[in-house]
Every structure is written in C-alpha cells, then in structure tokens.
C-alpha cells in the first residue's frame, strides 16, 4: 500500500491535508466523488439508498416517542410529510449500550443514533434531524442542518461511524459471509453430489469457507484488525452479532418482502432496490426452471429426505431453532423450495456484492466511514470546530489498518494466473458444468442472457449518473462470497 510507517503511528490527524495524502494513494472516480461531496447533506442521505448499507432505511409513519423532533425544529409539517410518504428513519438501536474499545490507550466512542430524513421536492433525500443516543435528555440534543457547520458535521460523522459498525458486523459479516457458510455447510452435510440441489448451489459456495476462516483469524480474532482498531472491537463486536442474529428474519433476506416491509417501494434514486429486484426476478425464474424440472409436485419435495434434512440443519444450526425468524423448518411445496434457494443464491452473490464491493469507494476517505471515534459525542451545541473534529477522528494507525482491510475486501479474485479452475467467476457462469441434461443447459444459457441484458441496462443508466451504481451489475459480481 506504500504507507510504510503510518501503520504504527499512534498520532492523531493534525489537518485534512495529511489525511488527503493517504487518501490519494488509491483514489478512483467513485472515491474521488465521495471526497468531494462527503460534507453535503444530499450525499449523506443518498448513501442509505446506494451505499454500503442500503437495507437500514425505512419509511417513517410516526415518530418514535424517544425521538422528539418538532415541526419548528425542521421547518416542516411532519405529519403532512409522513402522510405523503416523504419521511424516512434510520435507527441504530442495535448499537445501544455496546461496550467500546481502548485504542492506543484511549477510550473510544460509539453511538446508537436516530436519523430522520426528508425526501425533498427535488427528489433528494436529506437528513433533517439527528439524535446521537437513544434516550432523549438535556445532554443529548437533537442536531439540525441549521446548527453551526461543525456541530452538524460532527453529528453526521458519529452516524457514519455507527453505520460502519452496523454494516461491517451485521449487514456484511453476518448477513452475507456467515449465512453463506451456514447454507454451504448444510449443503455438504446433507445433499449428495448427484442431487440437483447440490449441482445448483455448490458453485455459490466457492471460497466461502476459506475466506471466512481468514476473516475469523485476521479480522475478528483477539489480534484481528477489527478487534484492535474498531470502536466495538472485542466484547462489543460479539454483542452486536448476537443482537443482529436474534432479530434476523427470513423476510428481511428476501428482497421483495424486505422492500415492502420497509415501505421504500417508491423512493427515487434507490438503485439498490431497482437493480436488486430485477436480479431477484431473474434468479427466481432460473431456480424455478431448474427445480421444477426435477420436482414435478409438492409431494416430491415432501418425500425428499435429503432436502428436508438440509433445511432442518439450516434452521437448527444456522438460526438456532428460532421459530420467530420465519426460516422454514421443512419444505412442503415446490414454491417454498424455489423461494428459499433464490434467497440463498441472491445472498451469496448479489447481496454480498452490494455490501462488499464498494467498501474502498465509500471508506477510502475515512471521515465518511470512520471505524472509531475517540472523543465523546457532543452534549451541547456550539463547541465544535475543525480542531475538535480532527481530534475526534481515529488515529493514523487505526485509519491506515482499517483502510488496508477495505482495500483487500474490495478486490476481485486474481488467482486465475495459477489455475484454470480458480478465477473470477461472474454470476451465472458455471465452468464445471455439473448438469448433464439438456433442460438445465438451456436454462443456464437463458439465465446468462438475462443477466447480460440487465448488465447492459445498468450500464446505460449509469452513463447518466454523476456517481454510477455498479455493485449489482451481474458482470461485476461473483457467484459466491469469495472475498
């Protein structure tokens, strides 16, 4: 990374110029856009739609009692705007009370903010109120765009640090890497190689066990990078994962239902939703074609003991037998099987791509995605300035070590140089050709054609965007969680 010496530097950033020199080493068009616009409210809001964490935002139909925003504060008729569907809420309650880290001998800080956003007449999504802690109090003010520049910027930065943790531990690690491992282990334990489900799913497990083993060793172990340099490293990290798993639902893993449940069907410029729903439909048609070729009736599914053992293993060991999760305990119909397998493939390919591939784009300019903050969140307004802001940011070594991980995780596989069978495999490409019948071959060809058409449509749209959304382009995503 050509950052020799900085990885061990325990000094704070003294000015933005020094930080910018580190940023410059791997700047691309997307990260340059982030650097140029990170202070802007419209860009802050847009990251909930097309950034690394596009599954948190939900329509606000009534303000939570512990978030006492008034019309006078935001200069809006809140009830009227909520009725029109123009108000949205992002709630980081998952992080509330989490024990935080000590880095370079200094106590670190992590908040559990509430963020109220408004869709403007110009179809921009802008934050209008931020409360950094869950419980309202005199020392927990509601920050507003009308506040002084650094009061408002500091509040948004604490939100972005909270988003780092919700993204990396919940949205990224748990909901893609660890779930993909659950599905892969259950597949290998219960489904023989000649089974059509094995042939359909095994390409979507490629490298998953290996990359997760490395993640356990290098990221979340006692000496892991996240453990050492993130605000919630160590005990706090486990708390977040436990809470996230306890609230995980099947509906939230199925994109059409998740979009509906969050009430975000009509939010403009929500490219994650637009591309994701089209991709979900393409995968669903492909999976339906393959499985209905082998399962002619619901009774065929019910009688398949290997298939039933597979889903039982997922429910018991992956979701800890939590009935409230909604995960099937058995399959009684072909449609149920098709939906579940669609979710598995979508999670292992598209969802991972959406929350993984842009990490360097979004996080290269660290103030937009800080892994930790080392001054307490502000309890009063009017005291923040540039110096306070810089002192709040993580030290140089924390910045650089996390940046190295974001760089690594954003890279595509490059081992094609060494072995023909192990190279970057885009979604829908199956070089091993496990199916030998004509019908699956035809379905795979049709699947590839539809993915290509979607990629072309995404490219055409992106040509007119200042910041293209590429993370759900099928040609740029892998078949599996492989990095």
pLDDT for position 439: 96
pLDDT for position 25: 73
Position 83 in a domain: no
Position 247 in a domain: yes
Position 167 in a domain: yes
Could you tell me which residues are beta bridge partners of residue 478?
426
**Cβ contact 1:25 at 8 Å:** yes
Q: Which of 355, 205, 201 is nearest to 276 (CA)?
A: 355
pLDDT for position 424: 64
pLDDT for position 2: 58
CATH of the domain at 253: 1.20.245.10
Q: Which of 279, 245, 202, 188 is nearest to 473 (CA)?
A: 279
Q: Which of 111, 112, 127, 107 is nearest to 44 (CA)?
A: 127
H or E stretch covering 452: helix 438-462
Tokens representing residue 197 in the block:
């489900």
Place of tokens 């080392």: 374
Q: How big, in percent rounded to 5, are the helix, strand and coil portions of the chain?
A: 55, 5, 40
Encode the chain (483 residues) as per-residue pLDDT tens digits.
556 678 888 999 999 998 888 887 778 899 999 999 999 999 999 999 999 999 999 999 999 999 999 999 999 999 999 999 999 999 999 999 999 999 999 999 999 999 999 999 999 999 999 999 999 999 999 999 999 999 999 999 999 999 999 999 999 999 999 999 999 999 999 999 999 999 999 999 999 999 999 999 999 999 999 999 999 999 999 999 999 999 999 999 999 999 999 999 999 999 999 999 999 999 999 999 999 999 999 999 999 999 999 999 999 999 999 999 999 999 999 999 999 999 999 999 999 999 999 999 999 999 999 999 999 999 999 999 999 999 999 999 999 999 988 988 887 654 433 334 445 689 999 988 999 999 999 999 999 999 999 999 999 999 999 999 999 999 999 999 998
pLDDT for position 369: 98
Position 294 in a domain: yes
pLDDT for position 421: 41
pLDDT for position 4: 67
3-state secondary structure of 383: coil
pLDDT for position 1: 58
**Cβ contact 126:145 at 8 Å:** yes
Position 280 in a domain: yes
Position 377 in a domain: yes
Position 101 in a domain: no
Domain that holds residue 18: 6-55+148-476
Position 135 in a domain: no
Domain count, the chain: 1
């Amino acid at each position: 990374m050509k950052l020799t010496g900085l990885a061990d530097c325990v000094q704070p950033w003294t000015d933005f110029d020094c930080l910018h020199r580190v940023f410059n080493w791997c700047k691309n068009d997307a990260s340059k856009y982030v650097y140029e616009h990170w202070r802007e409210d419209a860009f802050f809001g847009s990251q909930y739609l097309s950034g690394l964490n596009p599954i948190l935002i939900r329509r606000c139909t009534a303000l939570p009692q512990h978030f006492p925003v008034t019309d006078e504060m935001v200069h809006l008729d809140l009830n009227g705007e909520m009725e029109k569907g123009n108000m949205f809420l992002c709630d980081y309650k998952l992080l509330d009370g989490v024990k935080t880290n000590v880095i370079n001998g200094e106590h670190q800080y992590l908040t559990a903010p509430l963020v109220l956003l408004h869709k403007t007449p110009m179809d921009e999504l802008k934050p209008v109120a931020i409360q950094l802690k869950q419980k309202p109090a005199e020392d927990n003010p509601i920050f507003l765009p009308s506040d002084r520049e650094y009061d408002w910027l500091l509040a948004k930065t604490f939100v972005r640090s909270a988003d780092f943790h919700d993204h990396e531990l919940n949205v990224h690690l748990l909901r893609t890497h660890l779930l993909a491992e659950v599905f892969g282990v259950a597949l290998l334990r219960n489904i023989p190689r000649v089974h059509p489900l094995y042939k359909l799913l095994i390409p979507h497990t490629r490298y998953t066990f290996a990359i997760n083993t490395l993640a356990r060793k290098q990221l979340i172990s006692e000496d892991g990078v996240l453990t050492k340099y993130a605000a919630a490293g160590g005990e706090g990290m486990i708390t977040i994962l436990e809470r996230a798993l306890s609230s995980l639902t099947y509906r939230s893993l199925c994109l059409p239902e998740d979009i509906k449940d969050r009430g975000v069907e009509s939010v403009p410029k929500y490219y994650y939703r637009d591309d994701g729903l089209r991709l979900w439909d393409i995968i669903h048609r492909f999976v339906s074609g393959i499985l209905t070729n082998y399962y002619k009736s619901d009774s065929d599914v019910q009688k398949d003991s290997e298939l039933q053992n597979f889903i039982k293993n997922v429910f018991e060991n992956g979701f800890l037998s939590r009935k409230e999760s909604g995960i099937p305990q058995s399959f009684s119909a072909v449609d149920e099987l098709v939906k579940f397998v669609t979710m598995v493939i979508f999670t292992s390919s598209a969802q991972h791509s959406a929350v993984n591939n842009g990490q360097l784009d979004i996080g290269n300019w660290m103030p937009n995605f800080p892994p930790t903050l080392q001054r307490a969140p502000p309890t009063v307004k009017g005291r923040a300035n540039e110096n306070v802001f810089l002192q709040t940011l993580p030290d140089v070594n924390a910045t650089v070590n996390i940046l190295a991980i974001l760089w690594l995780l954003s890279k595509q596989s490059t081992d094609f140089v060494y072995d023909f069978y192990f190279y970057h495999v885009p979604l829908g490409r199956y070089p091993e050709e496990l199916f030998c019948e004509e019908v699956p071959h035809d379905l795979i060809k049709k699947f590839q054609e539809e993915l290509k058409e979607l990629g072309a449509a995404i490219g055409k749209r992106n040509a007119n965007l200042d910041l293209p959304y590429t993370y759900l382009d099928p040609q740029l995503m892998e078949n599996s969680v492989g990095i």
